[in-house]
Each structure stands twice: as structure tokens, then as C-alpha cells.
Amino acid sequence: MLNLRRLLAGLALLGATGATAVAQPQPVRIGLIEPQTGPVAFDGTSVIRGARLAAEEINKAGGVLGRPLELVIADGACRPADSVAAAERLITAEKVSVLMGAFCSGATQAVMPIAERNRLPLVTGVSSLPTLTEAGNRWFFRNAETDAMIAAAFAHGLVEQTKAKTVAFLAVNDDWGRGTVASFRGVFDKMNVTTSVSEFFDHSASDFYTPLTRLRSARPDLIIVVAETQAAATLVKQARELRIPSRIFGVGAWTTPTFLNLVGPAANGLLAGVAYTAAAPGDRNAAFVRDFRAMHNEDPGKYSASGYTTMNIIAQAIQRAGSTDAAAIQAALEQTDFTGPTGNLRFDNKHQIYGLQLYVVEIGNGRAEVRGTATLERND
């Protein structure tokens, strides 16, 4: 009799345990395609850090649709072929509900047809090539400024502040670098500001002395540098070694703690145009900076802010959709109205974000100080 009672008690316990396991809600899976290897791996990792913070906060508040968010991360290495393979795996094998990525514009452009063919939303928080939102892909959304928007926001103010009559460019040789140079040149030409020289470098470059020497010989009033964190840090230090007198304006992640630590005192006097700075005013940004510091022991930068806001936009869209049905999420993304550390964000009819805050900062004594602001206006 005793053995029978033990058996019945064991079966009852097993049944309760099984019922509990079945009752656990399945996670909502979001696929992230970001560079974790290659020359921009540091910046891709920054995006992931921001997205993870957002997911942690959302899950602590109950998740979406009563289910936890789960980030499924794939390394696209900022290469089109790798990013396409990652997207196909995330869609077919991992069964994600939304894709986020793929950082470099060329990689994102390659993934866009995959998302469209599978009728799955794709949201980028970084890729800035203007034509991405001109392609008519209803499944694609961009939570980032374009090259043309950056130029329109900053070019006139730069000329006024620096009194520049001549300008030179040094940029990474990809869609982002070439597009940014073309956009700034277009504005400068209309202002009768002369472009003296334009130099481009590969992602893997670490020796910039030759192009910098050519820029020094041209003696422009202003040098605009388009580069990600690690290349920018190396380039600036080499420019200081060569005692180039021109004022330098950076486009990219020029206010991150890593950049400032790598460059040290050589960063003093730099100007930069950024879509985010930890020095930005406002309670929402202060809370984001506080929580990011608590998780990573450093201030957030442009790309971690992008990952954070993009993940929040996706999560809120899923909640509004009321399900993980891709078409419902796509429609809900069109209704985005998210206020966070980078501004009050909404998508226009082309799925280009507007309401994003932009900042001109000046670096001094290892800190970025805001010198001017602009807001991306709706322009569709």
C-alpha cells in the first residue's frame, strides 16, 4: 500500500511538472544580423548591446503579448553574402518574427529582397544609403538618418562656424562613405565652397599617412572624415602626428567611450555630427545612460542607442499587432510613435524615420559637448 501511495504521489508530481512546462509561454524571436567579425565588429557589437538592454527591460515589464522577447543573433560581417545567408537561416531555421539589421548599407540592401520574398519585416537602425527607402519595399523600415539628411542638417552650420572656403574629404570606400561625400559635396557646391580633394580608404585600412599627407598639401579649411570607431581613432591620431592644421569634422560613431579612450588628447578640438550622444539632454536619455552604464560600465554611443530604440520600436509594433503575424506587425510598424533617448520617432510613407535628433558636438578634455541640434523632419 505504501509503495502504491508513493507511485500515485510521484505521478501527480510528474503531471504537475508537465503541466507547468506546457504552460510556459513561447518566446517571441527577433533575428539580429549585425557584424560581429571584421573591421566594424566593435560597432555591430554596440548595436547588440543596446538591443539586449531593451529586451531585458521589456521582459522585466512582462514581455510582449505576455511572452518574453528572445534575440537570435547572427554575424553578417557587413558582407552581403554573409548577411543573406544569415537572414535565410534566421527565417527558415530559427523562425524569427522580425529581422533587424544588417548594419552596412550594402549588406542591408542584399537582405531586403529576402525579407520581401518571405513577407517578413526588416528594420535597420544604421544603414544610411538614401535609395534603400526609395525601393518601394513595404517590408523594410529604417530607424536611421540618411547620408543626404546628415549633409542637409550639418553643412550650412559647419561653414558658418568654421568660415570654410575649401573642404577635403577622407572617407571609407563603401556605400556609406561615398554617399556621405556626394551628399556634402552637393550642398557645398551650391554654397560655392570648393572641394580640394577627396580620398577613400578600405575598411581594413590602418595606415592613413599617405592620404593624410595629400590632404595636408591641399591645405583645406575643413576636412570631413567619414569613418567608424576604430578607423576614425587611428586616422585622427595620425592626422595629429602630421600636424594638419585644418579643422576636422567627423561623421560616424565619434563620441563613444571607446573612440575617446583610443584617441585620448588628440581628440580635443574635433567636431562631429552624430545621431546620438550620451550628453544629450532629457530625462529619457538620462535613464537610458544610467541603465546602460549599469549593464556595461560605460556610456552608450550612437550604435548602442540605435539598437535600443530599434528593438523598442519592434517590440511595441508586435504588441500593437496583437500577434506575431508578419503582416500585422508590418502594419503596426507603420503606426510607430516611440519616444526614447533619440527623439520622438515615427515612419513616413516610405518607411523612413523622422523626429530623430541630430547633434553637432565638440570634443574637449575627453568629453563631447553639444554645440548644436537639428531634428529630422518628415520629407516624403
What is the pTM for the complete model shown? Answer: 0.89
What would the pLDDT profile of 222-273 be if each residue is shown by its tens digit? 999 999 999 999 999 999 999 999 999 999 989 888 899 999 999 999 999 9
Rounded to whole angstroms, the Cα distance separating 327 from 309 reads 21
Give Dmax (Cα) for the chain.
99
Q: Kindly list the structural domains of the chain, giving each domain's residue range(s) and its CATH number in brackets, ordered by start.
A: 28-145+282-292+302-356 (3.40.50.2300), 148-274 (3.40.50.2300)
Q: Which residues pair with 305 in a beta bridge?
A: none
Given a cut of 50, the residues of the chain with pLDDT beneath it are 1-2, 4-20
Q: Which residues pair with 71 in a beta bridge?
A: 30
- pLDDT at residue 13 in the model: 46
- pLDDT at residue 22 in the model: 56
Which residues, at least 6 apart from 173, have a Cβ–Cβ distance to it below 8 Å? 200, 201, 202, 203
Which residues, at least 6 apart from 161, have a Cβ–Cβ distance to it below 8 Å? 271, 371
What would the pLDDT profile of 277-305 be if each residue is shown by its tens digit? 999 999 999 999 999 999 999 999 999 99
